[in-house]
Amino acid sequence: MKYLYKILVLLLFIPQISNSQDDILSKINEIATLQQKVMMPMRDGVRLATDIYLPKTDKKVPIIFSRTPYNFNSWGDGEQKNRTHQRAYEALKRGYAYVVQNERGRYYSEGEWDILGVPLTDGYDAFSWMSKQPWSNGKIGTLGCSSTAEWQMAVAALDHPSHAAMVPQGFGAGVGKVGDFYEQGNWYRGGVEQLLFATWLYGVEHDKFKPRIPEGATQEDLIRISRFYDLAPENPPIDWAEKIKHLPIQDLLKNVGGKKEVFDKMIRRKPNDSDWYKGGLYHDNMNFGVPSFWFVSWYDVATTPNIALFNHVRENSVDDYVNDNQYLIISPTLHCGFTRATENTVVGDLSVGDARLNYDEQIYDWFDFMLKGKDNNFKENTPRVQYYTMGSNEWQSSDVWPPENTEMIKFYLTSNGNANTLNGDGKLTTLKRKIQDNPDSFIYDPENPVDSYGGGVCCMGNAVKGGAFDQREIEKREDVLVYTSEPLKNGFEVTGFIESTIYISSDVKDTDITIKLIDVHPDGSAYNIDETIQRVRFREGYDKEVFMEKGNVYKVDLSKMSTSNYFKKDHRIRIEVSSSNFPRFARNLNTGGNNYDESEGMKANNVIYHSKKYPSSITLPIVLKNK
């Protein structure tokens, strides 16, 4: 009976998708022509499958270009294909050609795929080909979120003359080393492996033995067979909440029967491995040649390094024109959730109010200004930085990030030596003289790590759900130290980068330190704002590993967090300190070994110090204005 029910549901649902698909296609056909499976040649002879949507006009037009590893085959149904048609329609009705292309080795594109669309010359060659078409005005803007955005930065460093503007959204996996951040494309945070790529690669990476279209197939043949063969893999469903616990980490994909070649080579790289600098990542030693309108989310996987990249480009491009044409929007949403903001925007379990913004209008005003030369007062009408402040639930703006009117205020950790759990005696104080010299200790067991609950995550299936959630259940654990301020007599806004320093000793060679920033409401509910982690062996830099010795105390500066959050009157500020946040971050097995190829860990007796000699602290950027 249950199978009959499923069939009936499918029969009811499929026509709805088809009708939606037909509606948008009919709108496109009224104003444009569609050239499918145009095989764009690269310099080495490899051809990349490309769909070109051309507005019905005799005038030369600028191009919106979207390059992606995802499936956009126009035939059949599916959310991704509907999105492609919708994006195309939005561009076409504004007088742009819309070009969408698969990276090499993806679907109908020839060649072998590697992450981030390498070689970088593919992007450059695509710009050259498009700019020479008789219908092109020679101006190209790139647009996309996540994997459709992340290739753009490194290609922007090549400074193609036709690459006139870009709109990268949720672009963290394209960021390598920027300033103090050695994220290497979201593979690391503070030297700790992020496990999102295990789950993402399982779902998207095509097998090396996949069916392949013969080389040299004609456009006519490709259009015909694409009606019948989608080339989209459909992997068996995986309970990642359970499977991601497998050790060693290097065998995560092997354990679930997934394709593992890309993961195999990357999981072995240390944060400063030279191979990170040979692929498709953008690093801060590269120039940047493209005006950009950046989109970031507060609950995304790489918020802080993404903002750091905006600052870096704005301050360091050798071209003053490029420096002066960098803009940023930071929304209170999950990964690529910009347009999902509603009158009551909910991230996780927390409402952050009406976070809507005229995203599309601003994007196309930007493109009109940059690609058409339209005198639309974009620069006069658009703040340099637009950011949403949670708590007060309002859009604000600034000419710089962080805003100029901020002061870094240090909050010190203190306790009588029993900060374990939310029922302990851990406190935050701004008065250094009130610090009590009674260190807190806990046992970190990698067999029983602290669960990831909410936060800025992406692409982890059912293993972790992103957003803000009440953390009190997590705070009942003995291996979570909880430090809370007194209720605030007056509310204040925290906007900018958040710094934290922890002094630690341990009986193992290496361990991790985690911190989570919490907004505690008057009813006791405790909502996570941001979180970070640091592997202690990398405390002196990512180019060397320095292990701990028993009995010594070590200063550890954690990777920065960031937010814009208004802590209301009677709310309290809280931080959690522990040594695990799993499975968002890989567990440290505490052995001092490679970690990725180990199956057995050891317990760590970790001690967190707070005294005048060892002042563990968190430093918040507080906005100097009254609410």
The three state secondary structure string of 111-148 is CCCCHHHCCCHHHHHHHHHHHCCCCEEEEEEEEEEHHH
Phi then psi for residue 492, to 5 deg, are -150, 160
564 domain residue, yes or no: yes
Phi then psi for residue 362, to 5 deg, are -70, -40
572 domain residue, yes or no: yes
Please report, as a single letter, which amino acid is at residue 400.
V
The CA distance from 111 to 181, in Å, is 32
The CA distance from 175 to 186, in Å, is 8
Q: Provide the edge-to-edge strand list for the sheet that holds 163-169.
A: 32-41, 47-55, 97-102, 61-68, 136-145, 163-169, 292-299, 326-334, 385-389, 394-398
The CA distance from 563 to 402, in Å, is 10
573 domain residue, yes or no: yes
The pLDDT value recorded for residue 78 is 54
Q: Are 408 and 499 spatial neighbours (Cβ–Cβ below 8 Å)?
A: yes
518 domain residue, yes or no: yes
Interhelix angle 79-92/2-31, nearest 10 degrees? 20
Annotate 226-279 with DSSP letters as a single string: HTT------PPP--HHHHTT-SSGGGHHHHTT---HHHHHHHT--TT-GGGGSS
Q: State pLDDT tens for residues 441-486.
A: 999 999 999 999 999 999 999 999 999 999 999 999 999 999 999 9
- Taken in order 204, 207, 208, 210, is the CA torsion positive or negative? negative
Q: Are 162 and 130 spatial neighbours (Cβ–Cβ below 8 Å)?
A: yes
Annotate 15-78 with DSSP letters as a single string: HHHHHHHHHHHHHHHHHEEEEEEEEEEPTTS-EEEEEEEEES-SS-EEEEEEEESS---SSS--
The pLDDT value recorded for residue 21 is 62
577 domain residue, yes or no: yes
- Dihedral angle, C-alpha 269, 516, 314, 119, nearest 10 °: 30
Phi then psi for residue 530, to 5 deg, are -155, 170
Q: Which residues contact 263 (CB under 8 A, 6 or more apart)?
A: 197, 198, 201, 252, 253
Beta bridge pairs of residue 577: 481, 515
476 domain residue, yes or no: yes
Q: For 295-323, give one letter per residue: b (16+ CB within 10 A) or e.
A: bbbbbbbbbbbbbbbbbbbbeebeeeebe
Q: Which residues contact 380 (CB under 8 A, 6 or more apart)?
A: none
User: Could you tell me the CATH number of the domain that includes residue 451?
Assistant: 2.60.120.260
The CA distance from 549 to 542, in Å, is 19
The CA distance from 587 to 573, in Å, is 27
What Rg value do the Cα atoms of the chain yield, rounded?
Answer: 25
- Residue 8 class from Cβ within 10 Å (0-12 exposed, 13-18 middle, 19+ buried)? exposed
The CA distance from 504 to 509, in Å, is 12
The CA distance from 590 to 510, in Å, is 5
Tokens linked to 32 = 């444009």
Tokens linked to 324 = 């002066």
Tokens linked to 207 = 């097998």
Annotate 473-491 with DSSP letters as a single string: TGGGSTT-EEEEPPPPSS-
Q: Residue 326: which of 380, 271, 385, 259 has the closest Cα? A: 385
Tokens linked to 451 = 């669960």
Q: How many CB atoms lie within 10 A of CB 164?
A: 23
Q: Which residues contact 132 (CB under 8 A, 6 or more apart)?
A: none
Q: Are 323 and 312 spatial neighbours (Cβ–Cβ below 8 Å)?
A: no
546 domain residue, yes or no: yes
Phi then psi for residue 603, to 5 deg, are -70, 145
Residue with the two structure tokens 């701004």: 430
The pLDDT value recorded for residue 162 is 98
Tokens linked to 227 = 């009606």
CA 265 to chain centre: 21
Please report, as a single letter, which amino acid is at residue 185.
G
Q: Residue 535: which of 509, 512, 510, 558 has the closest Cα? A: 512
Q: Are 454 and 467 spatial neighbours (Cβ–Cβ below 8 Å)?
A: yes
Please give the model's pTM, rounded to 2 decimal places.
0.94
532 domain residue, yes or no: yes
Tokens linked to 343 = 């009158």
List, in sequence order, every beta strand (DSSP E) within 437-511. Answer: 440-444, 481-484, 492-506
Can you list the residues of the chain whose pLDDT is less than 50? 1-18, 627
Number of folded domains that form the chain: 1
Residue with the two structure tokens 């120039």: 287
- Dihedral angle, C-alpha 130, 358, 299, 502, nearest 10 °: 100
Please report, as a single letter, which amino acid is at residue 327.
Y
The CA distance from 288 to 152, in Å, is 11
* Residue 606: domain span: 406-623
Q: 538: which DSSP letter? A: G
Q: Residue 506: which of 546, 446, 550 has the closest Cα? A: 550
Q: Are 34 and 95 spatial neighbours (Cβ–Cβ below 8 Å)?
A: no
